[in-house]
Amino acid sequence: MPRLALVTAKEIIRQKLFYAIALVALVLIGVGVLFGTSALYDPKRFVYDAGQASMYLFGCFTAILFGASMVPKELERGSAYLLLAKPLSRSGFVTGKFFGLLLVGALLVLGLLIPFALVYGLVYQGTLNAAFFLGALIDVGKLGVLGSLALALGTFSTPTLSVMLTVFVWLIATGLEPAATSARFIEIGWMRAVVPALYRALPNFGIVAADLEAVVVLGVPCPVWLLSLLYLALWSAVFVLLACITFERRNLVR
């Protein structure tokens, strides 16, 4: 399985789409640096937020796009049948694919973090505090959740539908916290019941390290970060397990 994860990571990195995503992310980071001086508020803060947002967004795009097409693509070109003909279980196949995808997401975030830190320091004489690096670590955990969900959907659905459903869950996971908080103000009765139910049943990124910088400044103990990462790891494990169960039950006869 570790070897399959490394092979999967190499396959993703060799694809043109991966380089296109990384290039666009670098361009947006550069644009944020160039336009930081014209920001309406603190230029350093503007560049700081723009860099963090770029790494997170394009990391999510990578996890969703490649996660959704990973299994269907392997089945289409027949390489999955060759791998499964060896002493490799279907669950091992899916798990190896997930860890390869997670490795690529972590490398992408790290690859964008290094040039951003250099430019941010040279142009704005700013230093990235612990909150930024902890935020990057949390973002990798979120990529794991989205990638595992896209992978699970891709075991029984088309890549296009898997991407659409994963993006839908991503939007819910990101905006569910304020929606659930204000659910009592919703006038439609059934929505007042549905929103809190989704809040409890789906991943909620809003409760994971909501304000990283404030937490670091206030000195919140390390277990808070561990709980955040464990929460994301738990959801990733749930989706990987779902992917394994679905793929085990799928009829692969061509």
Q: What is the mean pLDDT of residues 31-39?
A: 66
What local confidence, expressed as pLDDT, does residue 241 receive? 96
What average pLDDT does the segment 102-120 reach?
A: 85
pLDDT of res. 213: 47
pLDDT at 244: 94
Measure the CA angle with vertex 34, ends 31 and 35; round to 5°: 85
The better pLDDT of the pair 28, 72 is held by 72
> Domain for residue 239, yes or no?
yes
Mean pLDDT within 236-252: 91
Residue 130: domain span: 2-249
Could you tell me which residues come within 8 angstroms of residue 38 by beta carbon, excluding any fewer than 6 positions away? none
pLDDT in tens, 42-86: 667 777 777 778 888 888 999 999 999 999 988 888 888 788 877
What does the block give as tokens for 204?
Answer: 């909620």
**Chain-wide mean pLDDT for the chain?**
79
* Residue 119 included in any domain: yes
**What share of the chain in percent tops pLDDT 70?**
74
Residue 155 in domain: yes
Q: How confident is the model at residue 214 (pLDDT cuts 50, 70, 90)?
A: very low
Answer whether residue 27 shows pLDDT above 90.
no
pLDDT in tens, 142-194: 999 999 999 999 999 899 999 999 998 888 777 665 554 554 444 445 555 66
Residues 64/150, Cβ–Cβ less than 8 Å: yes
Say yes or no to pLDDT of 212 above 70.
no
| Residue 249, C-beta contacts closer than 8 angstroms, at least 6 positions apart | none
Residue 254 lies in a domain: no
What's the CA gap between 210 and 226, in Å, rounded? Answer: 14
CA 154 to chain centre: 16
**Residue 134: is its pLDDT beyond 70?**
yes
Nearest to 18 by CA among 120, 128, 103, 87: 103
Distance CA 161, CA 101 (A): 19
For residue 183, the model assigns a pLDDT of 46
Query: What is the pTM assigned to this prediction?
Result: 0.84
Q: Give the pLDDT of residue 198.
A: 64
Greatest pairwise CA separation for the chain in angstroms: 60
Q: Name the nearest CA neighbour of 60 among 91, 20, 18, 105.
A: 105
Q: What is the pLDDT of residue 211?
A: 47
Q: Which two tokens stand for residue 27?
A: 């361009």
- Provide the percentage of residues in the chain whose pLDDT is more than 90: 27
CB atoms near residue 170 (< 10 Å): 20
**How many domains is the chain partitioned into structurally?**
1
In a domain, 54, yes or no: yes
Average pLDDT over residues 89-96: 91
Q: How far apart are CA 61 and CA 235, in angstroms?
A: 18
